[in-house]
Amino acid sequence: MTISHPCSKHYDSIEAAVKAAQNAFPGWSAKTPQERSKIMSKLADLIEESLESFAEAESKDQGKTITFARMVDVPRAVYNFRFFSSSILHQTTECTQMDHMGCMHYTERTPVGIAGLISPWNLPLYLLTWKIAPAVACGNTVIAKPSEMTSVTAWMMCKLLNKAGFPPGVVNIVLGSGLKAGDALVSHPEVSLISFTGSTLTGQHIIERSAPYCKKLSLELGGKNPAIIFEDANLDECISATVRSSFANQGEICLCTSRIFVQRSIYKDFLRRFVEAVKKWKIGDPSDPTVDLGALISKEHLAKVKNYIKKAESEGAKILYGEGIDSLALPPRNQNGYFMLPTVIAEIADDSCCMQDEIFGPITCITEFGTEEEVIRRANGVKYGLAATVWSSDVGRVHRVAKRLKSGLVWTNCWLIRDLNLPFGGMKASGIGREGAKDSYEFFTEVKTITIKHT
Ligand code: NAD
C-alpha cells in the first residue's frame, strides 16, 4: 500500500527540514555518545552565557514574569542539555544467559531516525529543549516546531547551534502554525516518531494523523490537578506552596493545582489564610522583578479563562477573590495587556466545568471533604491524571493516598521538585508514555534483541 502524503506539497519548510535531517543523520548517528555529549554541553554553556537576553525575550513573548523566566525557564533549558549530555554516557543495555540452551541474549539500541518534536507556548524553550536534548543525545536528527505563539527563544537558540558544533541539519527548527507545519510534520512518512506536548485535543488529533504510519508517540497532555490537604498538614508550608502551585506562571503550567480539597475541620481556617496569601501576590508589568503574576498568553485565552468565572457564578459558586479585574491599577504601558487577578472559587460542585475542564489560567477551586476514602474518589473523578499533591504529616497516609491516586506524578508536602532521572508523564487523558533519563532513552531509540548460540 502506498500512503499518500497530502501535506508535503503544501508545506515546503517541513520538506526542506526532512531533507536536511536525512542528510545529517548518517554522520550524527555515527558519532560516539561522548562526541555528541561535548557538543550538547557547549550549547548549554552558550545559552547560559546569554541567560539574561533569553529570559527577557521569553518574558516579552509569553507574558510570564522576568523572575520566572530567569529562575525557571532558561536555567531549565540549560539543564536539559547538561543533563542529557551526561545521562547518555551512562545508559546500558540488557544481557541474559540461557545456559541450558547454550546461548545468550542481548539488546542493542539504535537511534530511530528523524524525530518530530512539537511544543506548547507556556514554557517555550524549557519544553522544546526537554525534547531536543534527549533526541539528539540518542543520535537522532530532529525537526522541532515550537508554538507559533512563542517562537522567539527557539529562533535565538538556532543562532547558537553552529557555534556549539552541531553539524547542519541535526537540529532543524520550523516555525509555523499547528494546522500547517505541525500537521505536515506529524503526517510526514519520513518522520519516525513524534514527541508532543500540548492539549489533549491536539494529542488526539496527532494519534489519528500519525496512525497510518504506526509512528512512535510520546504525548504529554493536559491536566486538572488536585491538591489534597489533610487536617494534620503543616498549613504554613502548605498554603504558601499551594498558592504557588495554583498561580505560578499565571496558572499556565500543566502541573498547576486547580482543585483544592481541604479536610472539613480546617476548611474555614484554610480558606481565610489562603485568600490572605493570594491577595499578597503582585500583578503587573512582567519585566518588574517584584511582580508575581504576569500577563496571560493572548486576548482569546484571557476571555476563555474569564468566562469560566462567569460560569461558576451562574452555578451559584462563590468567588472569594478575583473580582475587580477591570479596575487593576496597572502601569500605563500594560493597560491593554491580558491581565487578571488570581481567582479563588469556593462552594462549587465536583461536576461543574470549572472542576472538570483544564482552564490553564489563574483560577483555583476550593472544596471541603470528610474522609480519606471520599477524597481519593473525588480527586480521581476527572478525565485527566497528570499531577497531584498530598499534604499530611502522617507518613502512612501519604503513602496510602499517593498509591491510589490515578496520576502520573504525586508530590507530597511539596510541589514541582523534579529529578529528571525519573519518569514524567500522565495517565488517562493526560498522555501516553513517559519521558525522563531512562524513558527518553527508550523512546528515542529502537531496541533489537539479539540471540547468540555459543555451544
Ligand atoms: P496546543 O495543543 O494548542 O498546541 C501545542 C503545539 O501543537 C503547538 O506547537 C501547536 O502549534 C501544535 N499543534 C496544534 N495543532 C496541531 C496539529 N493539528 N498537528 C500538529 N501540531 C499541532 O496546546 P497549547 O495551547 O500550545 O498549550 C497548552 C496545553 O499544553 C495545555 O493543555 C497544557 O496542559 C499542555 N501542556 C502539557 C504539558 C505536559 O507535560 N503534560 C506541559 C505543558 C503544557
Residue 277 counted as domain residue: yes
Q: How close is the Cα of 195 to the center of ligand 1, in Å?
A: 11
- Which tens digits make up the pLDDT trace of 312-353? 999 999 999 996 555 567 888 888 899 999 999 999 999 999
Q: Which residue has the cell 491536566?
A: 223
Cβ neighbours, 10 Å, residue 49: 12
Q: How far is CA 253 from the centre of its chain?
A: 7
- Are residues 308 and 383 both part of a single domain? yes
Residue 421 located in a structural domain: no
Q: Does residue 8 carry a pLDDT above 50?
A: no
Of ligand 1's atoms, which has the minimum distance to the CA of residue 200? 32
pLDDT single digits (tens) 398-442? 999 999 999 999 999 999 999 999 999 999 999 999 999 999 999
Q: What is the CA(122)–ligand 1 centre distance, in A? A: 9
Question: Quick one: which H or E segment has residue 273?
Answer: helix 267-279
Q: Rounded to the nearest whole angstrom, what is the distance from the C-alpha of residue 442 to the centroid of ligand 1?
A: 23
Give the pLDDT confidence score for residue 329 in this predicted structure. 73
Which residues form the domain of 112? 2-221+430-453
142 and 196 share a domain? Answer: yes
Confidence (pLDDT) at 325: 55
Helix (H), strand (E) counts: the chain: 16, 18
H or E stretch at 268? helix 267-279
Instruction: Indicate which atom in ligand 1 lies nearest the CA of residue 220.
Output: 41
Among 343, 434, 447, 446, which residue's Cα sits nearest to residue 95? 447
Crossing angle of helices 124-137 and 51-62, in 10° steps, is 120
Query: Ligand 1 center to residue 347 CA distance, Å?
Result: 31
* Domain co-membership, 270 together with 293: yes
In a domain, 358, yes or no: yes
Q: Are residues 181 and 259 in the same domain?
A: no
Active site residue 354: no
Same domain, 394 and 447: no
Does 318 lie in the same domain as 179?
A: no
- Neighbour tally for 316: CB within 10 Å: 10
Q: Is residue 210 part of a domain?
A: yes
Same domain, 153 and 291: no
Q: What whole-number distance in Å separates Cα of residue 143 and Cα of residue 132?
A: 9
Closest of 152, 207, 151 to residue 177, by C-alpha: 151
Q: Is 419 exposed, middle or buried (0-12, 13-18, 19+ CB in 10 A)?
A: exposed
| 220 catalytic residue (yes or no) | yes
Considering the domain architecture, whether residues 49 and 75 belong to the same structural domain is answered as yes
Q: Which one is catalytic: 254, 256, 354, 365?
A: 254
Backbone angles phi, psi at 71, to 5 degrees: -90, -30
Contact criterion met (CB below 8 Å) for 308 and 353:
yes
- pTM beyond 0.85: yes
Are 11 and 186 a contacting pair, CB within 8 Å? Answer: no
Number of domains in the chain: 2
| Catalytic option among 56, 58, 220, 435 | 220
Express each pLDDT in 202-243 by its tens digit. 999 999 999 999 999 999 999 999 999 999 999 999 999 999
Q: What is the CATH number of the domain that holds 307?
A: 3.40.309.10
User: Whose grid coordinates read 531512562?
Assistant: 438
